[in-house]
Structure 1
Amino acid sequence: MTLTLYTNPMSRGRIARWMLEEVEAEYETVILDYETTMKAEPYLSINPMAKVPAIVHNHKTVTECAAICAYLAEAFPDADLAPRDEERADYYRWLFFAAGPVEAATGNRALGVVPDAAQQRMIGYGSFERVIDVLEHAVAAHPYIAGARFTAADVYVGSQVIWGMQFGWLPKRDAFVTYAARLTNRAPYLRAAALDDATMATAA
């Protein structure tokens, strides 16, 4: 079995790294530079979008952070991070909500794009304010996004909440702060952050 993470420590690759630490997989890390190796072969053959992260597991490529989280949960079942029957609906609902409406709404907000009323009917997320209200309700409903226990969906949803507050894309509402604190105290999260931070320090 081979497993390689292609990443940059100042990217969404931190999400994939966190998930890899959660499943306790053995993996190789390849650090890519935004202006050079990320935009050239051999990486373009792995991800033609020239973005990170990507993982290659037993010669199969997975890109997109939400997909990587879901894939690794299934590929490493002993970690018990895939949804159980009673968690499945919330697991997939909020995983894809974070990858779709939350990602789009916060990205537009960061770019200063504010859809008018007519445009809100055209785009999938409607308004930023509604997305944030719905996300707040979702993270407040249970200790974790799919219920009482931590799952792979929390890696992705949690990353959106943690980074959103860090970079000012999300308001620091009590539900977000409480949820983020619950996640950032996890040992795999701390290991992943330390690995990426050390890589950043070396590169600097």
Structure 2
Amino acid sequence: MTDLTFWTSPRSRGAIVRWMLEEVGAPYTTIMLDYGAPMKTPEYLAINPMGKVPAIRHLGQVVTECAAICAYLADAFPLAGLAPPAPDRAAYYRWLFFGAGPVEAAATNAALGVVVPEDRRSMVGYGDARSVIAAVEQRLDASAYLAGDSFSAADVYTGSQIGWGLKFGTVPDRPIFRDYWARLSARPAHARATELDAALSGGAA
């Protein structure tokens, strides 16, 4: 057992954390949980009371929620260079948590067919999906990566949302998003993570 443990399940948001772990490059132990009862055992609920994956435990500290895990790992393993220096983190934090807030909410509603009435958009944190997509598109038109010129944990998290959105139709199929995702998915750590998750699920990714 290593000092870093990762709970996940195939075809889950655990894929984001798997990618982040492979970018970090530190040894870790994977514990695979099936959906349903295995995630609701007292032992796992002591790790995550929500009874969902992913989760990590590092040096005795438990972290859940994908964006939080990505931010934590970037700080815990600074030599991986996945977060800008502290004085230069404005864009990094902005787009990491833009992914966790507006992008996640808009994509979930789109997948579920939830349409926010126009006169209620001010009550919804993301406003409307078109505005969310426009904001990300504007950012990627200005810089190669979300935090600037260098890849970061913000690209692991929010970039994963873009990749899934292209695959499942919640992000419009535009060249700027296709090119961005091509840059990210070509990273060796992403390829390793995809292979590992495919092996867990017993099939191709």
- The TM-score by the shorter chain falls in which range? over 0.9
d(CA) in 1 for partners of 2:86 and 2:61? 27
- Shifted more, 37-46 versus 177-186: the winner is 37-46
CA shift for structure 1 position 86 = 6.2
d(CA) in 2 for partners of 1:3 and 1:197? 21
* Equivalence for 2:82: 81
- 1:127-183 Cα offsets, whole Å, 9 max, x none, are 111111111112222111111111111100110000111111111111110100000
d(CA) in 1 for partners of 2:102 and 2:25? 30
* Equivalence for 1:189: 190
* Equivalence for 2:117: 116
d(CA) in 1 for partners of 2:97 and 2:163? 17
Residue 42 of structure 1 aligns to a residue whose secondary structure is helix
Matched, 1:153 2:154: yes
* Equivalence for 1:32: 33
Count residues in correspondence. Answer: 202
Residue 137 of structure 1 aligns to a residue whose secondary structure is helix
Matched, 1:133 2:143: no
d(CA) in 2 for partners of 1:160 and 1:87? 24
Matched, 1:95 2:91: no
- 1:30-80 Cα offsets, whole Å, 9 max, x none, are 000111211222111100111110001111100000000000000001111
* Equivalence for 2:57: 56
* Equivalence for 1:169: 170
Residue 11 of structure 2 aligns to a residue whose secondary structure is coil
The runs of at least 4 consecutive aligned structure 1 residues that moved more than 3 Å come to none
Residue 149 of structure 1 aligns to a residue whose secondary structure is coil
Which amino acid in structure 2 is aligned with residue 49 of structure 1? M
Residue 34 of structure 2 aligns to a residue whose secondary structure is coil
d(CA) in 2 for partners of 1:136 and 1:40? 42
Which amino acid in structure 1 is aligned with residue 106 of structure 2? A
Residue 96 of structure 2 aligns to a residue whose secondary structure is helix
The answer for unaligned runs of 5 or more in structure 1 is none
d(CA) in 2 for partners of 1:163 and 1:29? 23
CA shift for structure 1 position 85 = 4.8
d(CA) in 2 for partners of 1:197 and 1:62? 24
Q: Percent identity?
A: 56
d(CA) in 2 for partners of 1:183 and 1:84? 21
TM-score (norm 1): 0.96
Which amino acid in structure 2 is aligned with residue 61 of structure 1? V
The 8 Å contact of residues 87 and 147 in structure 1, kept in 2 or not, is answered as no
TM-score (norm 2): 0.95
d(CA) in 2 for partners of 1:26 and 1:95? 24
CA shift for structure 1 position 122 = 0.5
- Shifted more, 127-136 versus 182-191: the winner is 127-136
